[in-house]
Structure 1
Amino acid sequence: MKIALIGATGYVGAKLLAEALNRGHHVTAIVQHPEKLPTHAKLTGGAAKVQDAAALVPLLKGHDAVISAFSGHAQSDVLGYFIDGFKAIVAASKAAAVARLLVVGGAGSLEVAPGVQLVDTPAFPEQWKASALGAREALNLLRGETALDWTMLSPSALLEPGERTASFRLGGDQLLADADGNSRISVEDYAVAMIDELETPKHSRARFTVGY
């Protein structure tokens, strides 16, 4: 499968890139600094700023799917930067006539009680709030999208480096937690779940989550 991966050198994107390549997919990694990419026979680098939809279109054309691991964590205006970029990705994906768009979401928009999302609870960390609100707005934009076959995968509350076990649970709009009340998933297993969805779609035009 031919995949265009946006944000392939980031925290989540790098693991998605490794998982996709290990499974034999051809990846075009779209980043601002292609020189940071590893060397691989099935990897092609493409340089573009995410907010420039016109520049993205030719890089996305001809691919079976786009995976967006774009985030605005390093920006001063995290929310504004992310939403502008996300809208450009959606517009470029449609203009390039790519069949599917898979998006790295956040845990903040998952429900912890009926009608109560994690980001709206008092305990939600302030440092991640702008990112969580951006991901929630992106989800709302996707839910109003009729032209794209989209999927968003939200992680558990704690997304951290760990092992690739390929053993986890999937859920819908509710936050997953283990028997001890911990909500977590390794970045490696998050990548497994995303590429599983790429290869065998089960959540067309829907958001789902993954956790232990």
Structure 2
Amino acid sequence: MKNIAIIGASGFVGSALLKEALNRGHRVTAIVRNPEKITLNHPNLTIKKGDVMIADSVEDLLKGCDTVISAFNPGWSNPMVYRDTQKAYSFIFEGAKKAGIKRIIIVGGVGSLFINGTRLIDMGVAEETILPGAKSLAALLYSLQKDEKELDWVFFSPAANIVFGERTGKFRLGKDDLITDSEGKSYISVEDYALAMIDEIENPQHHFERFTIGY
């Protein structure tokens, strides 16, 4: 059993991660700005109201946990999404270290994945509304690759399309290249993404690197 903190546990991906972790017997601390959005009742669930944009609060929010999953997202339509992503993650990493956390897994972006040597965000296919957020997550990955040597970090990029679906347990994992099916489509259910994330926590296969998933 792990003691897992999930930042952003009420969101689209975060709520799937929360359900998967609890169903597999882990203790979970859900860190959310609006606790009323979590309607689950579970003996292994602790809900903490908190905002990782407040630097001094992060250490206390994470204390007592051994692994952090961050599904933080300041909002794709937030005009300051790039700045807020960078700022929040600097606070998350600092707070995690102060709290004695050794491992953090980030719900990463797809834009920094490659197709035939070209990043998705350089191919002109991303919607303008999500491009700042995609660029911010790409910058976060590169910063981790260059500078973060203390926290055992993992950046888990989903497929190009992540949607509600089924928990099949049948998917492929990769590293830096977008995974597509035989028809060239790249997708994953949020349920299978969550399954693979908790698999990584229970049986670590990646350290100081990114990996990805798809059918």
**TM-score normalised by length of structure 2:** 0.95
- Structure 2 residue aligned with 1:168: 171
Are 2:38 and 1:39 equivalent residues in the alignment? Answer: no
Q: Deviations over 1:32-68 (max 9, x none)?
A: 1112222211100111111112211012122110000
Q: Deviations over 1:93-138 (max 9, x none)?
A: 1111101001000110001122x10011112221221111111111
The 5 Å alignment of 1:1-212 reads 1-37=2-38, 38-73=40-75, 74-114=77-117, 116-143=118-145, 144-212=147-215
SS at 1:126 equivalent: coil
| Aligned counterparts of 1:12 and 1:210: Cα–Cα separation in 2 | 14
| Aligned counterparts of 1:146 and 1:130: Cα–Cα separation in 2 | 26
Q: Structure 1 residue runs of 4+, over 3 Å off?
A: none
Deviates more, 1:169-178 or 1:128-137: 128-137
Unaligned runs of 5+ in 1: none
Deviates more, 1:46-55 or 1:177-186: 46-55
Q: Deviations over 1:148-205 (max 9, x none)?
A: 0011100011111111101100000000100000011111111011111011000111
| Aligned counterparts of 1:72 and 1:61: Cα–Cα separation in 2 | 23
| Aligned counterparts of 2:187 and 2:63: Cα–Cα separation in 1 | 35
What is the percentage of aligned positions where both structures have the same residue?
46
Deviates more, 1:167-176 or 1:53-62: 53-62
Number of positions where the alignment pairs a residue of Structure 1 with one of Structure 2: 211
| Aligned counterparts of 2:163 and 2:82: Cα–Cα separation in 1 | 22
CA RMSD of aligned residues (A): 1.0
SS at 1:131 equivalent: helix
| Aligned counterparts of 1:134 and 1:86: Cα–Cα separation in 2 | 11
Unaligned runs of 5+ in 2: none
- Deviation of 1:27 after TM superposition, in Å, equals 0.4
| Aligned counterparts of 1:68 and 1:208: Cα–Cα separation in 2 | 15
- Deviation of 1:76 after TM superposition, in Å, equals 2.8
**TM-score normalised by length of structure 1:** 0.96
